[in-house]
Amino acid sequence: DTAVSQTPKYLVTQMGNDKSIKCEQNLGHDTMYWYKQDSKKFLKIMFSYNNKELIINETVPNRFSPKSPDKAHLNLHINSLELGDSAVYFCASTAASWIDMNTEAFFGQGTRLTVV
């Protein structure tokens, strides 16, 4: 069983399109995240949700809109895609809560987005 799964694994699309990436975790975790890894391999957090509520928003353009329909899912919708959005996007989850922040993160295998 894959703990954190993302779909699709690869996504090639044209500038200006709108696309979504889906993430699901079967670990029963309360907190989920989206990270972006750019062409220089630098990993940076974008968003975090705890129990379906947004708790971290790292100054990401409004074109990026995360949605968490339930604790096990965190999707990322991107409007009006730009060339600079090309990157690998990783979903992650942890059992972190306000009671205990110190838990390990489990990452998905990534979605490689290429905007042409």
Partner 1 sequence: DAKTTQPPSMDCAEGRAANLPCNHSTISGNEYVYWYRQIHSQGPQYIIHGLKNNETNEMASLIITEDRKSSTLILPHATLRDTAVYYCIPSGGTSYGKLTFGQGTILTVHP
DSSP conformational letter for 110: -
> Interface with partner 1 includes 54 (CB under 8 A)?
no
> Interface with partner 1 includes 106 (CB under 8 A)?
yes
Cβ proximity to partner 1: between 18 and 38 the closer is 38
Sole binder of partner 1 in the list 60, 108, 113, 115 (CB under 8 A): 108
> Interface with partner 1 includes 89 (CB under 8 A)?
no
- Label residue 19 exposed, middle or buried (CB < 10 Å: 0-12, 13-18, 19+): middle
> Interface with partner 1 includes 75 (CB under 8 A)?
no
Q: What is the footprint of partner 1 within residues 14-33 (CB under 8 A)? A: 31, 33
